[in-house]
Amino acid sequence: MNAYVTLIYSLLILAAAIKGSIQGSFISLFAGGSFSLLLIASGTMMYFQKKVGLYLALGSTFAISIVFLLRYLKGHSPLHALLTILSGIILCYFLRQVCRREKASAP
């Protein structure tokens, strides 16, 4: 399930990046595309039960959350507010998965 959540989230990030590039921000396309590729890679790793995939998704989502929060604080765009909230929810989900994994591997 983690892999599917990550892949869907990566497609949403890519869609937001494409929307930003249509509005003239090619930095948005580059950054969103890069994060989307990282999330696709981490989702693929999670699908094949690689532990590093979850941590890569957690780090990427944390960085995306910070970027969206800063963009919202700068421009007060409703889209950035929505993406900040969505990224926060996904970040909490990944943190929960990491805690569950660490708890399960504890002696």
Asked whether residue 55 carries a pLDDT value surpassing 90, the answer given is yes
Asked whether residue 106 carries a pLDDT value surpassing 80, the answer given is no
Please give the share of the chain, as a percent, with pLDDT higher than 70: 99
What pLDDT score was predicted for residue 7?
A: 93
Asked whether residue 73 carries a pLDDT value surpassing 80, the answer given is yes
Asked whether residue 56 carries a pLDDT value surpassing 90, the answer given is yes
Neighbours of 67 (CB within 10 A): 18
Task: Determine the average pLDDT of the residues in 36-50.
Answer: 93
The H or E element that residue 78 is part of is helix 78-105
